[in-house]
Amino acid sequence: MKALKTARRFLALPLAAGIALTSMAANDAEAKAKKVLLKVPVAFSTNLPALGSPVLWIKDTLEAVAGDSIKVKIYEPGKLVAPFEILDAVSTGKVNAGYSTAAYWAGKIPAAPLFSAVPFGPEAPEYLAWLLHGNGGKLYQEMYDQAGYNVHVTPCSIISPETSGWFSKPIEKPEDLKGLRMRFLGLGAKVMEKLGVSTSLLPGGEIFPALEKHALDATEFSQPAIDARLGFYKVVKYNYFPGWHQQATVFELLINKDVWNKMAPEQQAAIKTTCMASLTNSLAEGEAMQFPVMKDNVEKKGVKIMYWSDSMLNTFKQTWDEVIQEEVKKDAFFKKAWDDMQAFRTGYDLWESYAFLPRKRN
């Protein structure tokens, strides 16, 4: 018995030593990791569910995961940096981080909308497959690098389809669009412009006043639960689906590349892991909250939910085909990213066509 106890003590010594060494290594790593305060201006109000609110979840989760190593301070739109200036501010080091969507940089980088939302493009699962397990993520970073921006990008949240517009009257044929002044995002705006719509890209907080003052006739912005917070239903009552222009929308965490490169590996891993978790959480949050709002819109707010006719959807698709052919000829990197996305989607079609049940509207 005494020999057995001695053997147990002998075996316990290397185990205890191993635990001690592991603990010391973890403490050393934490000590070596210089503490980072990420000052994050955001493009969307954190009061907007699934659109702006994910950045608060990201802050809380990242601080919990990283401990004292990383702290995050959020700045509402315009408080530190205007929404459309976030990329430049992060790149130049005016701020060390920012949260937005790449389509906001379309005027600076032609390919940027491909990493935000694509007309008739991938739905959220397919989009994430390309970004995380195809070449999409590498191309995303390459886009900023070759354009000369000193940023590190991480896809950090995603939402599923948006509504495709709020109008003051029914749109039954393409001619009904001509002459309308409409807020519209990204590549979808180019489709609408070909159909005679005058488009402008306004931040969320500026849309309702523009509708109220009749500076805009119509708008698209996001999902029903998000649009409801902005009050569009008070001015325009016809809400159209499906969101052909944005079947999914990706949001990005930008970090100044010099700051990113100086972070310890465990800090970088904490950010990557938190953003990976946020992609799941934001998608689920967005999916969970739409149908109660749609029901409330109809029953209490006088909204008429409309579904585009086959004729109108065909018009949008044909016009999009024209737009994309023009865009790939204008910019070499746009063509590179588009060709890669299309190659991935062609392969994905085999899986999608067999795996999923056909969809029917009630």
Domains of the chain from N-terminus onward: 33-158+249-287 (3.40.190.170)
Percent of the chain at pLDDT exceeding 90: 90
Mean pLDDT score, 275-299 = 97
CA distances to 34, 60, 61 from 67, rounded to whole Å, are 12, 10, 10
Instruction: Read off the pLDDT band of 263 (50, 70, 90).
Output: very high
Percent of the chain at pLDDT exceeding 70: 91
> Distance between CA 328 and CA 332 in Å, rounded?
7
| Beta-strand pair 165-167/238-241 | antiparallel
pLDDT at 129: 98
pLDDT at 25: 41
pLDDT at 18: 44
pTM for the full model? 0.90
pLDDT at 32: 62
**pLDDT greater than 70 at residue 19:** no
* Averaged pLDDT of the chain: 92
Instruction: Read off the pLDDT band of 360 (50, 70, 90).
Output: confident
Instruction: Read off the pLDDT band of 108 (50, 70, 90).
Output: very high
Residues in contact with 98: Cβ distance below 8 Å, sequence separation at least 6, in sequence order: 40, 41, 42, 43, 81, 86, 87, 89, 90, 253, 254
206-220 pLDDT tens trace = 999 999 999 999 999
The answer to whether the CB of 71 falls within 8 A of the CB of 63 is yes
pLDDT at 353: 94
Mean pLDDT score, 9-15 = 38
pLDDT at 359: 79
Q: Which amino acid is at 6?
A: T
pLDDT at 27: 46
45-99 pLDDT tens trace = 999 999 999 999 999 999 999 999 999 999 999 999 999 999 999 999 999 999 9
